[in-house]
Amino acid sequence: MPNPLFDALFAAGAPDSAALEGQGVRWTYADLAAEAARLHGALAALGVAPGDRVAVQTQKSPQALALYLAAVRAGAVYLPLNPAYTDAELAYFVADAEPALVVCDPSREDGVRALAGTAATATLDAAGQGGLMRAAARAAPPGGPVGRSEEDLAAICYTSGTTGRSKGAMLTQRALLSNALCLKDLWRFTPEDRLIHALPIYHVHGLFVASHTALLAGARLLFQAKFEPEAVLDAMTGASVLMGVPTFYTRLLAHPGLDRAAASGMRLFISGSAPLLAQTHEAFAARTGHRILERYGMTETGMNASNPYEGERRAGTVGPPLPGVGLRIAEPLSGAALGPGEVGAIEVRGPNVCAGYWRNPEKTAEAFREDGFFITGDLGYVDERGYVVIVGRDKDLIISGGLNIYPKEVETEIDALDGVEESAVIGLPHDDFGEAVTAVVVRQTSATLDEAEVLARLADRLARFKQPKRVLFVEALPRNAMGKVEKARLRQDHHGLYRGS
Ligand code: MLC
Ligand code: AMP
């Protein structure tokens, strides 16, 4: 029985050619396939059946990538989770997704056991060791990949909600595979490629855009535990492609080692997940001779648009829609189509788009138009050359270092603190992270709460990247005639807070 996604990921790489190097391993495609098969055995032994969810909150390692591939091989639904999430955050995902198995770092085992309910638990550490690997060693070898159809789910990726809790985007084999095949061709991946993989693998960028594209082409992944400019510069001598968020590029530019010679063996630099400033694009081109290729996507849709491989890469744009992806600009409320150059809601339709939100028909209905277009929540226009320009967001979202933070979630935690009357959380321009989470707080009369106290009290409630970089206190929040907090005004008032950061 075919398993379209798994089969495709192992179709191009010759068994004895290099698939993944770094973090202590040198695996051929045969090694990677064997590791995925062994881990499939462990999943089965731990009670995971086809269609079951497997939640994974581990540090990045080659074994963690093999675990993802094992879940696809087992016909399970993979649920990647940022290791920065606290137990309080994790409890929600586990309750919502009802996984059959939760895999976590050994340091988190007690907390995870307490919240896992009926789910089995297993451990995998940053070195790729732990109870899961021991289970794999003991397990009976499974048969081949479990048969799946393209409509079957391969993953659920949670994205925060503007209001309320996170929603699980249901990603089918078709959505993942069609997008990956498209990107492989568009970005000209071949077996000769060596991709520097310094992204986390708990989000679509590192897990799907980077890993799938390289594996589908039979290329080599150069795995790094996390992004370190020095290590990426070193790796460039033996690499051909880098994928990253804009913070990767601003940090590389801040390194004196970045020059034409350092980048001379590279054929492609790709950026996405957050806006790449035109000045970063220009500065990178001046230093290295390479024009960064910017693309646009989201968890629910995979990639939607990309600057071309050949042809003009326009700074400040995300390029034309991908082949097979319908993209239109619509009037946000009515959904009526707008003309070229007009700013409106970006909506997309295609095989790449998710099948809706897990057990959440209301949010699914809100996200799609009747004709099947998905409302991205981004605002933009299409320029005279057919390139998409993103000008802002119709959703109250902060993107910091490529990670999304929904202000509502942070405000809810701050508002629950003793001494807080109310709060507004905004993103302010930040040279390193692009935007920095900033809380503007009104204290209750006579409360003495200060910045350090607010931050200390958020520490075990919110993942570190969601915690405000600064907490400002004001007498009152600015409101419009409707009583709504004027976040634009707050952003204006505090625009320069991180200048020079
Ligand atoms: C880490 N911190 C962050 C942060 N990452 N704070 C805000 N925003 C972030 N993104 C915290 C750390 O915990 C630390 O806290 C402090 O900030 C400084 O950390 P650092 O050492 O500078 O961070 P670092 O570990 O180097 O990580 C920064 C980063 C990383 C940019 C390399 O965040 C990263 O890899 N981002 C990529 C995220 C990604 O893959 N996004 C794709 C989403 S998919 P302390 O304790 O030291 O104070 C998607 C769809 C699409 O969006 O289109 O691709
Ligand atoms: P996520 O929910 O983490 O998948 O983030 C998706 C969001 O990231 C999109 O809706 C956009 O707002 C943003 N995004 C991704 N790529 C780009 C880009 N190249 N330029 C601007 N915003 C981007």
The contacts found for 285-293 with CB under 8 angstroms, 24 or more apart, are: 287/253, 287/258, 287/259, 287/260, 288/258, 288/259, 288/260, 288/262, 288/263, 289/260, 289/263, 290/263, 290/266, 291/315, 292/249, 293/187, 293/268, 293/269, 293/319
Residue 222: half-sphere exposure toward Cβ, Cα within 13 Å: 19
Nearest CA to ligand 1 atom 17: 465
Is the Cβ atom of 196 under 6 angstroms away from ligand 2? no
What CATH number has the domain bearing residue 452?
3.30.300.30
Q: How far is the CA of 357 from the centre of ligand 1 (A)?
A: 25
Ligand 1 mean position to 265 CA, how many Å? 27
| 472 in any annotated domain | yes
Which pair of structure tokens corresponds to residue 445? 């009369």
Cβ 13 under 6 angstroms from ligand 2: no
Provide the residue range defining the domain that includes 55.
4-9+20-148
Cα 296 to ligand 2 centroid, rounded to whole Å: 6
Query: Which CATH number is 62's domain given?
Result: 3.40.50.980
pLDDT of residue 164: 62
Among 115, 148, 181, the domain boundary falls at: 148
| CA proximity to 40, closest of 160, 151, 177, 135 | 135
The structure tokens listed for 298 are 């989201």
The predicted structure's pLDDT at residue 116: 97
Concatenate the DSSP letters of all residues of 320-368 into one string.
Answer: SBPTT-EEEEE-TTT--B--TT--EEEEEESTTS---BTT-HHHHHHHB
Structural domain contains residue 250 = no
Write down the pLDDT at residue 133: 98
Please identify, among 148, 168, 198, the residue that sits at the C-terminal boundary of a domain.
148
- The ligand minimizing its distance to the Cα of 208 is 1
**Ligand 1 neighbour 212 (Cβ under 6 A):** no
Pocket test for ligand 1, best of 183, 403, 455, 498 (most atoms within 8 A of CB): 403
Q: Which ligand is nearest to the CA of 207?
A: 1
Q: What is the pLDDT of residue 482?
A: 86
Q: What is the domain count for the chain?
A: 2
Whether residue 189 lies inside any domain: the answer is: no
Q: Return the ligand 1 atom nearest residue 405 CA.
A: 8
Domain boundary among 148, 176, 194: 148
Q: 200 C-alpha vs ligand 1 centroid, how far in Å?
A: 9
Does the beta carbon of 300 lie inside 6 Å of ligand 2? no
pLDDT at 163: 62
**82 in ligand 1 pocket by Cβ < 6 Å?**
no
In a domain, 468, yes or no: yes
* Minimal-distance CA residue to ligand 1 atom 41: 402
Residue stretches of the chain with pLDDT short of 70:
161-164, 501
Residue-by-residue DSSP string for 242-289: EEE-HHHHHHHHTSTT-STTTTTT--EEEE-SSPPPHHHHHHHHHHHS
Report which bound ligand comes closest to the CA of 243.
1
For the chain, the residue count is 501
Strand, helix or coil at 151?
coil
Tell whether 378 is covered by a domain.
Answer: no
In a domain, 37, yes or no: yes
- Per-residue pLDDT of 212-262, as tens digits, reads 999 999 999 999 999 999 999 999 999 999 999 999 999 999 999 999 999
**Atom number, ligand 1, closest to the C-alpha of residue 464:** 13
Q: Which ligand is nearest to the CA of 392?
A: 2
Strand (E) or helix (H) holding 392:
strand 388-393
